[in-house]
Amino acid sequence: MWFYSSRRFNFFVSLANPGNWESFVEGFKKFFSEIWSTLKTLITDYFKKFTAAQNPVDFIKIFVEEVTGIAIELFLLYVSVGASATKKIAEVLERLLKNPKTTVEDWMDYFKKRKKDDSPENTPNILDEVDDIIGNRKKTLDDVESGKIKLDEDANGNKRKKGDETRSSNYAEMKVDDYFETQKFVIGKNKGTLKRVSENTVSTLDDTIKKGIDGIYEFSTPPPKYVIAEVKYNTATLSKTKTKSGGAQMSERWVRHDLRKGAVSAEIRREILVQGYEPLLCTVSKQGKVTVNTINQTLTDATKSSAWGGKVTQ
């Protein structure tokens, strides 16, 4: 398990009284007692509102995802804040319970709003916005691949300093977004589309380089529900340097750390932690060819593996 390290063990023992095993156990019992007590209140609150749900199946699904997600969030919080975790967790749960957005009525209001937003009169504006994004990206990619735009130059046509990979990195990410979002795929036995759900989408070649996960995509017909992609240009490879997350690039720890930093919304982060994801390494050649490989992940390391099984289809 990810928390079984000498450092983690010593940390847990110190939660109650350093070196005192009995005190450690008591601290753990108190922690789970507090969580269970508050979760019982949460569960009771949900079932009081059960009759308000228009679709029992959807309600149960939402309920299970919420409770599971909250439990995961609480454990991660416990690990990160140490001795004060119990109190902080109680405060977080109290805020959740007081937040009207956790009630079924507000869930129904949310879905009603989504339905209204997706109505025919609003659709053209949404589609126009998507078309603009895809159109601008396509033009940029075409200009790079035709030689009209040089990756080793800046926006003013000046040569970039040696080692400045801004444009090549951004080009690669834009190329992978285009590759995934404009085609249909067969993954396993399922045919569907991939949609980017992560933040910080690259929109121009001169965008500031953003560290962390390059792209998270949701598959329309899971499994897998999500794929998480690391993008490299030309001969670049996965970094083996251990970061403050405790792991190297695309390791389990590195991915979890970046998810907590806001790579996606809290709701999607919980889904990824519960349902899992497929890690991919996407390499873009100088000629614009995209090659996708799977990644062998461990807690602290990640290495390139075999060719990805996902196939482009019509």
CA 123 to each of CA 55, 114, 127, 153: distance values in angstroms, whole numbers, following the listed order: 26, 12, 6, 39
Find the mean pLDDT for residues 192-199: 94
pTM confidence score: 0.61
Find the mean pLDDT for residues 187-191: 94
Most confident of 61-65, 160-164, 181-185, 199-203: 181-185
User: Residue 156's pLDDT is what?
Assistant: 84
User: Residue 72's pLDDT is what?
Assistant: 58
Confirm if 8 and 299 have CB atoms less than 8 A apart: no
User: Residue 126's pLDDT is what?
Assistant: 40
Find the mean pLDDT for residues 154-173: 91
Which band of pLDDT confidence, cut at 50, 70 and 90, is reported for residue 110? very low
Find the mean pLDDT for residues 97-102: 46
Higher pLDDT, 156 or 110: 156
User: Residue 63's pLDDT is what?
Assistant: 59
Q: How many CA atoms lie within 13 A of 18 on its CB side?
A: 3
- What percent of the chain is helix, strand and coil (3-state, nearest 5)? 50, 15, 35
27-48 pLDDT per residue, tens = 666 666 666 665 666 566 555 5
pLDDT of residue 171 exceeding 80, the answer is yes
User: Residue 7's pLDDT is what?
Assistant: 41
Q: What is the DSSP string of 103-149?
A: SHHHHHHHHHHHHHHTSTTTHHHHHHHHHHHHHHHHHHHHHHHTTSS
User: Residue 29's pLDDT is what?
Assistant: 65
User: Residue 11's pLDDT is what?
Assistant: 42
pLDDT of residue 107 exceeding 80, the answer is no
251-270 pLDDT per residue, tens = 999 999 999 888 898 889 98
Find the mean pLDDT for residues 148-169: 91
User: Residue 21's pLDDT is what?
Assistant: 59
User: Residue 225's pLDDT is what?
Assistant: 94
Higher pLDDT, 8 or 232: 232
pLDDT of residue 162 exceeding 70, the answer is yes
Find the mean pLDDT for residues 161-185: 94
The rounded mean pLDDT for the chain is 76
